[in-house]
Amino acid sequence: MPLKAEQLEKDGLTQWPMVMGAIVPVVNLESVKPGELVFDGEALADIFLGKITKWNDLAIKKLNPNVKLPNEAIAVVHRSDGSGTTFKFTNYLSKVSADWKSKVGEGAAVEWPIGVGAKGNEGVSGNVRQTRNSIGYVEYAYAKQNNMTYTAMVNRAGAMVQPNVEAFQAAASNADWAKAPGYYLVLTDQPGEKSWPVTASTFILMRKEPSDKAASAEAIKFFRWTFAKGSKTAEELDYIPMPDNVIELIEKTWSADIKS
């Protein structure tokens, strides 16, 4: 999760986004295929609040009239450790559900009303895969690479979207990094009919006055190489490279913020 500009200044740090990705709900439901089930933000928040407890609840059935939903209890799985994934997920739920915002809120770690905690994407995915009728959330790249049953979602525009490169790019298209102090942007619940609702960026943190200037310079060389040569690799791993105009801003940040 990114740090706000005042925190960066206090700690003598600088930060920038490296790549963009997304967080997706994942489920373990018999005969349900990846992308077949769909949620909107309100239903998702109510599940993690414990207000929706059965898979055949009317709210889920209305969103999925053609999916056979079992009359079974929903087993909720969430992160037990602090994480950027949880921050983005709870940030999104806070934007789409006033109930969630008032009762739980957002953060890298929160007091979950219900569910079983698991450490890391690995723990959440392992629990979901081992527990019938369960639901959790993980990074999309992790869900895809581990053949998990991810869901579709209804976005801010009211359109049903699948998690894919086009949807992630659409969500990021309105991001105004130039006007974001310290590049602090949370790309959840973005406008646009094609936008995936829970997109995120991975951030790099470095000290403005490094104790080892040679090591700092080598790190910058590596990051410069990743921006110049790593786009294809990022896409193969289901992440979205930063746009060229943002890379230009970031390279100016290196020159302005980091003392060599």
Q: Where are the beta strands (DSSP E) in the chain?
A: 13-28, 38-39, 75-79, 116-118, 134-139, 149-150, 152-154, 160-161, 199-207, 240-241
Distance CA 51, CA 98 (A): 14
- CA 164 vs. chain centroid, Å, equals 13
Delimiting residues of CATH 3.40.190.10 domain(s) in the chain: 5-21+164-257, 22-161
**Residue 174 confidence (pLDDT):** 73
Q: What are phi and psi of 257, to 5 degrees?
A: -100, -35
pLDDT along the chain (260 residues), means of 10: 87 92 95 95 98 97 96 97 93 97 96 95 93 96 90 97 89 82 90 92 92 92 92 84 86 89
Q: Assign a CATH topology to domain 22-161.
A: D-Maltodextrin-Binding Protein; domain 2 (3.40.190)
Predicted confidence at residue 235, as pLDDT, reads: 84
Its CATH architecture, for the domain 5-21+164-257, is: 3-Layer(aba) Sandwich (3.40)
pLDDT of residue 76: 98
Cα atoms in the Cβ-side hemisphere of radius 13 Å centred on 221 = 7
The DSSP secondary structure of 62-131, one letter per residue, reads HH-TTS---S-B-EEEEESS--HHHHHHHHHHHHH-HHHHHHT--SSS---SSSEEESHHHHHHHHHHHS
pLDDT of residue 169: 83
pLDDT of residue 149: 96
Structure token pair of residue 209: 């006055």
Q: What is the pTM of this model?
A: 0.87
Cβ pair 48, 115 in contact under 8 A = yes
Determine which helix (DSSP H) or strand (DSSP E) holds 246, and give its type and residue range. Answer: helix 244-257
- What token pair was written down for 13? 């740090």
- 169 within 8 A of 195, measured Cβ to Cβ: no
Whether residue 184 contacts residue 16, with contact meaning beta carbons closer than 8 Å, is answered with no
